[in-house]
Amino acid sequence: MIRLLAAIVFFVCAVSNAFALDVKEITSASGIEAWFVERHVAPLVHVRFAFAGGSASDEKGFEGTAMLLSGMMDEGAGSYDGETFRRQIDDHGMSIAFNYGFDNFYGYLSAPIQYQAEAAELTQLALTEARFPEDAVERERDFYLSSEQARQQSPDSTVGRASLALALPDHPYVEAATMALQGLPQVGRQQLTEAQQRIFVRSRLKVVVVGDMNEEQAKGYLDQLFGTLPEGVPALPQSVSSTAVGPQLKIIPADTAQTLIQFRMQGLPESDPDYQATSVAVQIVDIALNDLIREQHGMSYGVSFEQRDYVRAHFLIGRLSTAANSNLARQRHCSRGSLRSALIPEVAWPMCFLISAYQASAATTWHRLVR
């Protein structure tokens, strides 16, 4: 019944918001495949791409390689030193950025359409001819070591790592989340070069293009960006891990004025027929928790409930922050009440909200593609 009602509301909201993206699957002359959305609302081109191979794929003993690599991508490439490379980006009003996750290494390009060739050149050089100068490697490594040390000392990060370790003991995600401080000092130019050659290959690439161009122009742009990449070795298929069986509790004493709570349970993959219904249920529970615990009773500084999807694991995660001396038993009672009182009549608004969020940004298309 819930799934049927969710489907009906989804259809009604979709019809009333009939601005769905026209996503096309295209293939360039050299064989680069992508999702493409033709949009002429502004003279811009946006490209998001991902390569399979994130921090969970770092070599043992060199954890933090993906982290450092993401910070080194604008430190010079080809004939450009780092300062010239970054000045080219700024002078042409472009944005070129790189980031990483457990499973993928991400790239983003946004540029005025008249400078699309310059943006493609810089991105292509960064992927294939990054310099990794020793002085920049040392500087960026020190920066990330300092940032990671501060992050791992924060209560939020401590709770998140502990929760992940309980759910997935001895998992690559846990090593990626906990071992960067030990591995980063060992990462140098050689490890960065090896990671670049292993990760930035066609067989690991997924791309989304949105911009003021037609389909043929988009195909040509794909070749400008990625046409020189080697085919490479595909990433090995990864099996999905189940969370540890049975309820588990870990209490971490800390000298802090707040108590942070995180609970984590098994989620669903997008291929599951109940995934969309679960997305709506998560939104409803998030609203109910905020209404009862934070707004009605004022027992929390912040409370949330969300879906978190990775390639090898799927979670439902709840968070709660409150004063250290607060009545946790009462909050637990209210949390259970929120979960039980999230009834079917609350479906319509979250469904329309989720659909609008899907339509509002091509980033949604992007995240659904790379998972």
CB 342 within 8 A of CB 281: yes
**Angle subtended at Cα 350 by Cα 240 and Cα 315, rounded to the nearest 5 degrees:** 20
Percent helix, strand and coil across the chain, each to the nearest 5: 50, 20, 30
pLDDT grade for 112, boundaries at 50, 70 and 90: very high
Q: Single out the residue of 47, 109, 102 nearest to residue 74, CA to CA.
A: 109
The predicted pLDDT at position 85 comes to: 97
How far is residue 108 from each of residues 38, 48, 136, measured CA to CA in Å? 17, 5, 22
Classify domain 22-236 at the CATH class level: alpha beta
Amino acid 22 reads: D
DSSP 202: G
How far is residue 267 from each of residues 96, 124, 238, 250, 345, measured CA to CA in Å? 33, 37, 17, 21, 23
Question: Model confidence over 39-97: pLDDT tens digits?
Answer: 999 999 999 999 999 999 999 999 999 999 999 999 999 999 999 999 999 999 999 99
> Percentage of the chain surpassing pLDDT 70?
77
Q: Please, which residues have CB within 8 angstroms of residue 133's CB and are 6 or more apart in sequence? A: 75, 76, 81, 82
Q: Does residue 14 surpass a pLDDT of 50? A: no
229 or 324, which is more confident?
229
> Which stretch of 93-97, 136-140, 192-196, 307-311 has the lowest confidence by average pLDDT?
307-311
